[in-house]
Chain A
Amino acid sequence: MQSFSHTLHQIYARFLPEPNMETLFWLSVTLAVFALGVRLQIRLDRAPWANPVLFAIAFVALGLLVTETPYATYFQSVKIINFLLGPATVALAIPLADSIRLVTRSLPAMTLALLAGSITSVVSGVLLVLLLGGSHDVALSMAPKAVTTPIAIAITTQIGGIPALTAAFAILGGIIAAMIGETTLRRLGITDWRAHGLAAGIAGSGIAAAQVAQRDPVGAAFAALGIGLNGLVTAIIVPLILYFLPG
């Protein structure tokens, strides 16, 4: 009997696919560091500047450096987390549908704010780079940075920017907006979640929207709209604006 179970175990051990230790390791590190970042932020009275996304990115990047792991290997391991971004974006439909009365009531205001915000974001990004002596490539890559990353990359390819650089700018811009957005707007006396959500969606895309969405469902609805509509508007206005800009 014992030899039978021993044989079974041997067959099991032989045919069990080797668990992918590397995948589990980097998944654990990413989840653990992000969870730690969230705890830290709660400890600091939920200060927006203590952004868990930035915390996790910095920590994991350091980990890759120390272990000499290439980014491609890391990304392969945490692809499942990246994959969930799609369903999570679709999930923003629920707060949007829940707050539809508020949304339709402020439709004219939203249109105005959307156009003003998109144009400001594109023009100021390009002009600031050129004024400070940055290269033309960098300026072009900066133009669509406020848009959600897949749209930003499509736009930047169309106008001749560098896709990888635009992706980096979109992430960094999102982190900046998430870190200082709420505090800055409150200081300006803006206490309405509709304005906070829309601004986060338009100027900071996904990462800033994530910060607002965790705080308020109405903010989540307006951030979802901001992301979607800003993508459309920016795709149309960027080529137009660049036509009139110097360079």
Chain B
Amino acid sequence: MPEAFLILILFQLVGSALQTVLHLPVPGPVIGMFLLAAALLWKRSRIRADKPASSFDTPALSSLSRSLIACLGLLFVPAGVGLVTQMPVLLANGLPIAVALFGSTLLGLMVTAFVMHRATRDRPSPERIPDTGGQVL
């Protein structure tokens, strides 16, 4: 588990360093995510029976990641409470803000999902959403 945490932190560090050095518009952790995914895929593509298993693509890493993703919502609470500092502005422009937030979020969701749905319809979707879906992760 300590190694797994180290891997996540190291990739975040590398991502943040790249962001600073190259002045990228994407935040460090997001760059770290893409880098770790690439590293995992590269490792997996090289796995052969005669070689020992990868040093960092471990069950510990996937179980730690599952735990972190499972409580991802909690991690937004500290920043979310910061809404209290914006209350005066939010209330002063209440109606346009409320309508625009609702309308634009809903439109963005529907357009994205609809285009994705139409464009992948010819290929069978392997995962169907059950009507009473449970917590998978």
Residues of A that sit less than 8 Å from B by CB? 30-31, 34, 45-46, 51-53, 56-57, 60-61, 64-65, 71, 74-75, 78-79, 81-82, 84-97, 100, 102, 105-106, 108-110, 112-114, 116-118, 120-121, 124-125, 128-129, 131-135, 138, 142, 145-146, 148-151, 154-155, 162, 164-165, 167-169, 171-178, 180-181, 184-186, 188, 190-196, 198-200, 202-204, 206-207, 209-211, 213-218, 220, 224, 226-228, 231-232, 235
Size of the chain B interface, CB-CB below 8 angstroms: 84
Interchain CA distance A138-B88 in the complex, whole Å: 13
> Contact: B127 with A93, CB < 8 Å?
no
Q: Tell which of A31, A84, A92, A154 has the most Cβ of chain B within 10 Å.
A: A92
Most chain B CB within 10 A, of A97, A110, A132, A207, is at: A97
Most buried by A among B28, B62, B75, B105: B105
B64 touching A91, Cβ below 8 Å: yes
A88 engages B68 (CB within 8 Å) = yes
Q: Does B52 contact A (CB under 8 A)?
A: no
A199 with B109, Cβ < 8 A, contacts A71-B85, A94-B61, A134-B100 known: yes
A128 to chain B, nearest CB (A): 4
Structural contact, A218 and B97, CB atoms closer than 8 A: no
| Chain A residues within 8 Å of B62, by CB | 94
- Map CB proximity to A onto B66-83 as digits: 1 under 8 Å, 0 otherwise: 101111111111111111
B115 A132 Cβ-Cβ under 8 A: no
Considering only residues 24-47 of chain B, those with a C-beta below 8 Å from chain A are 25-30, 32-37, 40-41, 44
